Chain A
Amino acid sequence: DIVLTQSPATLSLSPGERATLSCRASQSVSTFLAWYQQKTGQAPRLLIYDASNRAFGIPERFSGSGSETDFSLTISSLEPEDFAVYFCQYRSIRPPGFGFGPGTKVDI
């Protein structure tokens, strides 16, 4: 089974700073990787699909990159509403399925 590792577990930054979150897969997932933001008491929100494509309505300050086993999510300049937990998710073709990383908390 594929295992996703996210680092760091917690990222302490200030508004206006740049955030770079890492997601590493135990084996290649090609570009079948997504990123989500989750705030307390809310459902996850899709930010990036297929490694580098911003979902509908997502601000340009969010960007994704990577392929195979190494991926990153960058928030170019943190806004107060960006402080949340971020999860990465892979899709596997063989066997078919999905999995999530443990999350990175971005806090002040």
Chain B
Amino acid sequence: EVQLVESGGGLVKPGGSLRLSCAASGFTFSNFAMNWVRQAPGKGLEWVSAIGGGGDMTYYADSVKGRFTVSRDNSKNSLFLQMNGLRAEDTALYYCAKKVGGIAMAGFDSWGQGILVTVSS
């Protein structure tokens, strides 16, 4: 069974930093691209970042480019999101999500339970 478990969230002041982690199990982690998606309270879904299976290709939404860095450690089946220069508008529930495999192009077929990040003074 695929499991994704996020950790590392919390309350941080504007301008501060946090590092989110996502522990993966139940699948061959290195074979799949992974993503971070966030959801502000009561709002819709926003894609944040993606990383290829090997970790060499990374992509970001314009809203976080230059402030957030995605990485992975395939030896530890772990995904990370380093968030710097946090703003109030970064307050959200952050999900890690696994891209659907094979030749499929669009879809995230497994999601964690989410971790809350609150940016407030």
Chain A contact residues, CB within 8 Å of chain B? 1, 29-34, 36, 38, 43-46, 48-51, 53, 55-56, 87, 89-91, 95-103
- Other 12 A-B pairs with CB < 8 A, given A34-B100, A50-B105, A100-B44: A30-B105, A31-B106, A44-B111, A49-B100, A55-B107, A89-B45, A97-B47, A97-B50, A97-B59, A98-B50, A99-B47, A102-B44
In the complex, what residue of chain A is closest to B109 when comparing beta carbons? A46
Q: Mark B89-113, 1 if CB is under 8 A from A, else 0.
A: 0000001000010001111110111
The smallest beta-carbon distance between B52 and chain A, in angstroms, is 10
Could you tell me if A34 and B45 are in contact, using CB atoms closer than 8 angstroms?
no
- Residue from the set B50, B106, B109 with the largest chain A CB neighbour count within 10 Å: B106
Could you tell me if A56 and B105 are in contact, using CB atoms closer than 8 angstroms?
no
A90 to B113, CA, bound (A): 22
Could you tell me if A43 and B113 are in contact, using CB atoms closer than 8 angstroms?
yes
A28 to B50, CA, bound (A): 21
Q: Give chain B residues whose Cβ lies under 8 Å from the Cβ of A45.
A: 111
